Amino acid sequence: MSKPSETITINIDNQFLQVGAGKTILQAAEQNHIYIPTLCAYKDLTPFGGCRMCIVEVDGLRGFPTACTTPVVEGMNIRTNTVQLQNIRSEILQLILSEHPCSCLICDEQEECKEFSGTIRKATVTTGCRYCPNDGQCELAEVAKKVGVKEINYPINYRYYRVEREDPFYDRDYNLCILCGRCIRMCQEIRAANALTFKQRGQKTVIGPAYNRTHIEAGCEFCGACVSICPTGALSEKTRKWEGKAEREEITTCALCGVGCQVHLQIKGRDIIGALPADDPLINNGQLCVKGRFCIPELINNHQRLKKPYRAHDGLKIELTFEQAIEEAAKKLAVCPPNEFGMIVSQNITNEDLYIAQKFTRAVMGSNNIDTMARIYYGAGLNNYVGLMKSSATLESLRKAATILCIGLDTRYGGSVVGVELRMANRKGAKIITINSHPHNLSIVAHTWLKPESGEEVGFIQSLARLIGKAKSKRPDAKSETKPHPSDNDIETAARILAESSSVIILIGSDVFKYLNSPKVLEEIGKLARSLQAEIMPLPAQNNFNGALLMGAYPELLPGGFSSARKDKQAQLGEIWGSQIPDWATSWNAEAVMTGKRMKILYLIGEVPLRERPASDFLIFQNLYPPESIYRTDLVLPSAAFTEIDGTFINGEGRLQRVRKAVEPPGFALPDWKILCLIAQKMGKKGFDFDSVDDVHKEISCQVNGFSSLDNIKRETVIMTLEPACLTGKSDFAIDPYQAPDSGKANMEFPYLLHTAISEHTYRGFPLASYVEGLKKLFIEATLEISPEDAKKAGLISGDEVIVTSAKFEKTWPARIMAEQTAGILHVTLPQGEVPGRNPYPVRIRKKNV
């Protein structure tokens, strides 16, 4: 038997070809540009042989084997295009088309229709008889053309299925489905989500979730992989259903989470009409999450985008030219004392934007008052989290791990690319252990789900570490001092698996930061990793969390991640900039904004820190969308989005990645770095006359290893290769120390425990669900999640308004009854701008108006 690495000789249509042993006939033909029609075959999917269109003739084999399932052997003689084969294919295709609306495919006037029907439009759809959303992009139409089907000689059977429009991002018209099974195999084999299957039998066969569940109930992640590989118009994206084929595409890095997937932006005219995954072996391997796959066009093309600068006066918006806006900003900033200026920048903007922002703050304003919202989002756990980030593992390590410990991680929607890697690792034999007190998607595939009681997470992890130590030393297990979980067997099993594993990696999700004492939890995770010699992979919610650290966008840090108190680094930076660096410590940071400390000027770049106007005499708001009216912003400047600029991000692995401009920004919007440079120049400051973002990148390279030029990005892990390493100096962030709430236990007066979390699905301070319609069904905020038992006690049904009362506040939220929710525990995800405080809250509940 030939080995896969060997080369053999075959003959296809009188062409002698050298092909790799183990290939199928179809693969060998495709590699040598020989056309064999197929509808069910697709790269990386197991051969199916369902459509029968790829039949061939092979000497020595009876009948007509399918090319997609037949492996090549030495000396094989194959014919792909005989008259007999074409006749059989034509009959097969007619049978397929007899149950598929096909008037356009066999119409004698189809070419003329394409040419002339586009001149008149009605309700955004080209008039005429062309009705398929996949018109011009349909593989079935291409195969019909190649095979030469001109008429249907069988009875037409239209199935009269209703078009399913309930799901958030794509419609399903199974009247157009040819049952090729591609979507099912993609969902089962590549995504390993198992949300789709064949239902019914015979002529009644359809595709969908089993047991008549909705796609959300079936665990669908809305990754869109099924839409991408559908050969017909059965699955169609809502936002680009009639947009047609893209004219060009641009590859860039997604900015909607910390994974940093590579995407092919689909562009038509001046608009982005879609996004498809890139075949990137380093990260996403041809996969995307719901945010990267479907949200970018709605987010970028939204009609609410800022296009012109304006200032506010007595509640009125007065539009300005950019020159006028720059002049007004420069005039106000020029007379602002350094200690009365503050800037908050987004962790969603590029490294180049972040670098210029901190340079502007220090060199122009003479201040160290620059910060991000990480201090609020990660709270008291920020220092511990940054410490773990310094040695972050890569996805390649995850793919090789024997055991994967997930703590506070849910990958269903955000970061579902990591979820795919987890499920594939599980298929290869890796054990998955998940620790989470909240219902989450990994509980389905995990070998063990450890569910600590609320407030007992630290003792739980300590008990796990003790049991691991005993398992390693082969000592008999003993009960821990604190009972960590109702089932001791589960934690003992997990400890044994971890102790015996040859390689362990620990993944840290966002749910960790809602724990009662996240700093201590993160500290114990670090100890656990050292005892197991495990790698750690934090998964930050923000796409450029590492970039903000490395660019020095904090009062405590300079570019390169060095302490802002280091005299040698101040002098070095001052020499590069030709400006004196402020040598004074500051007590100001984002927490001061949240607590109402008033500043003379507050400059917000890509952030919306509060749901009301921050305390400042003059507020500059620089972003994609306008602020809410309650902000009463003094000056508003329009920014360009990540699809409209060049630059770089650093993902959660610490990997430097390229951002490429795909389209022009709307109106007069500019990149953030460019706006700051124009203001600095207007103020007469030197060192801001950059001609391009590449010039900014080159200046960064003078201070940070791994940066050189935008044309030479190697996508290496920058932070791990820095010398000296990032954050080697005095690097602790000034944050409020952890304090336990007054009572972390339920009692007679307050019998429930309320957990709150901040929404992580944002871009430049705005919730994605505010600008992407479909996300409102997936990312549910300001809704009280409650168990059926507790709902029954309170007389609640889903949607009822519930008054939640604690010793310090009273809130009203609609109820959402969830079978997975633990009795006695309530949960709510707060919208961006609301501070959760210290979890959990002992509360009582009652139905409103009762």
Q: In this predicted model, what pLDDT tens digit does every residue of 41-51 receive, in sequence order?
A: 998 899 999 99
Gap between the Cα atoms of 200 and 210, Å rounded: 10
Rounded distance, CA 375 to CA 553, Å? 12
Residues 325-331: contacts with CB within 8 Å, 24+ apart? 325/635, 325/637, 326/675, 326/678, 326/679, 326/682, 327/682, 328/635, 329/620, 329/635, 329/637, 329/679, 329/682, 330/679, 330/682, 330/683
Is the sign of the CA dihedral 525, 531, 532, 533 positive or negative? positive
Tell me what the pLDDT averaged over the chain comes to: 89
Residue 135 has pLDDT above 80, yes or no: no
Nearest to 366 by CA among 341, 338, 345: 338
CB 147 within 8 A of CB 93: yes
CA distance 707 to 695: 11
CA 403 centroid distance within chain: 24
Give the pLDDT band (50/70/90) at residue 77. very high
pLDDT of 114 reads 67
Place of tokens 């929607």: 413
pLDDT of 601 > 50? The answer is yes
Lowest-confidence segment of 34-38, 151-155, 629-633 by average pLDDT: 629-633
Say what the pTM is.
0.92
Domains of the chain as residue ranges with CATH = 7-127 (3.10.20.740), 320-376+544-731 (3.40.50.740), 393-537 (3.40.228.10), 752-847 (2.40.40.20)
Considering only residues 726 and 355, tell me which one the structure prediction assigns the higher pLDDT: 355
pLDDT at 116 over 70: no
Percent of the chain past pLDDT 70, that is, above it, reads: 92
Whether pLDDT at 721 is above 50: no
Cβ atoms within 10 Å of 475's Cβ, excluding its own: 9
What's the pLDDT tens digit per position in 166-208? Answer: 999 999 999 999 999 999 999 999 999 999 999 988 888 999 9
Helix (H) or strand (E) holding 617, with range, is strand 616-623
CA distance 402 to 430: 5
**Across residues 779-790, what is the average pLDDT?**
93
Confidence class for position 724, pLDDT limits 50, 70, 90: very low
**839 confidence band (pLDDT: 50, 70, 90):** confident
Q: What is the mean pLDDT of residues 675-700?
A: 96
Mean pLDDT across 821-832: 87
Instruction: Kindly report, residue by residue over 553-586, the tens digit of the pLDDT.
Output: 999 999 998 988 889 999 999 999 988 888 878 8
- pLDDT average, residue stretch 799-823: 91
Sign for the pseudo-dihedral over CA of 173, 179, 181, 184: positive
Helices then strands, counting H and E runs in the chain, come out as 25, 37
- pLDDT at residue 124 tops 50: no
User: Taking 80 as the threshold, does the pLDDT of residue 725 lie above it?
Assistant: no
Residue range 484-536, pLDDT digits in tens = 444 568 899 999 999 999 999 999 998 888 776 888 999 999 999 999 999 99
Terminal alpha carbon distance of the chain: 78
Mean of pLDDT values over 228-232: 94
Give dist(CA 679, CA 364) in Å, integer. Answer: 10
Query: What does residue 198 show for φ and ψ, rounded to 5 degrees?
Result: -75, 135
pLDDT at 675 over 90: yes
Of 2-11, 92-101, 597-606, 818-827, least confident by mean pLDDT is: 2-11
If pLDDT is split at 50, 70 and 90, which confidence band does 722 have? very low
Lowest mean pLDDT among 110-114, 424-428, 604-608: 110-114
Confidence of residue 241 (pLDDT cuts 50, 70, 90): confident
Q: What is the CA radius of gyration of the chain?
A: 29
How many CA atoms within 13 Å lie on the side-chain side of 247? 9
Model confidence pLDDT, tens digit, residues 303-326: 999 999 999 887 789 999 999 999
> In angstroms, what CA-CA distances link 747 with 369, 399, 806, 844?
43, 46, 11, 10
What is the C-alpha separation between 90 and 81, in angstroms, rounded? Answer: 12
- pLDDT category at 5 given cuts 50, 70, 90 is low
pLDDT of residue 738: 53
Q: Which of 181, 226, 241 is nearest to 39 (CA)?
A: 181
DSSP calls for 303-332: TT---S-EEEETTEEEE--HHHHHHHHHHH
Over the stretch 338-388, which tens digit does the pLDDT of each residue have? Answer: 999 999 999 999 999 999 999 999 999 999 999 999 998 888 889 999 989
Bigger pLDDT: 808 vs 720: 808
Distance of CA 482 to the CA centre of its chain: 38
Residue 465: how many CA atoms within 13 Å on its side-chain side? Answer: 19
Q: Looking at residues 801-823, what average pLDDT do you find?
A: 91
Give me 274's structure tokens: 């879609």
Has residue 106 got a pLDDT over 80? no
pLDDT at 121 over 60: no
pLDDT range class, residue 726, cuts 50, 70, 90: very low
What pLDDT does 427 receive? 94
The pLDDT assigned to 837 comes to: 64
User: pLDDT at position 287, please?
Assistant: 95
Report the pLDDT value the prediction gives residue 756, as an integer from 0 to 100. Answer: 86
Which uninterrupted H or E stretch holds 112? helix 110-116
β-strand pairing of 616-623 with 599-605: parallel
Distance CA 413, CA 223 (A): 8
Taking the C-alpha atoms of residue 268 and residue 796, their distance in angstroms, rounded to an integer, is 49
Q: Closest Cα to residue 162, out of 180, 175, 177?
A: 175
Name the strand (E) or helix (H) holding 650: strand 647-650
Find out whether 665 and 646 touch, Cβ atoms under 8 Å: no
One-character DSSP codes across 57-85:
EETTS-S--BTTT-B--TT-EEES--HHH
Interatomic CA distance for residues 344 and 677, integer angstroms = 17
pLDDT tier at 426, thresholds 50, 70, 90: very high
Report d(CA 322, CA 326) in Å as an integer.
6
| Greatest alpha-carbon span in the chain | 90
Q: Give yes or no for residue 821 having a pLDDT over 90.
A: no
Report the distance separating Cα 625 and Cα 120, nearest Å: 34
Segment among 23-37, 115-129, 637-651, 692-706 with least mean pLDDT: 115-129
532-541: average pLDDT: 94
Task: Give the model's pLDDT for residue 514.
Answer: 77
Provide the pLDDT for residue 203.
Answer: 85
CA distance 563 to 589: 16
Residue 379 CB partners (closer than 8 Å, separation 6+)? 513, 518, 735, 736
State the Cα–Cα distance between residues 489 and 480, nearest whole angstrom: 12
Give the pLDDT score at 435. 94
Q: How far apart are CA 457 and CA 520, in angstroms?
A: 9
Residue 739: pLDDT band by 50, 70, 90 thresholds? low
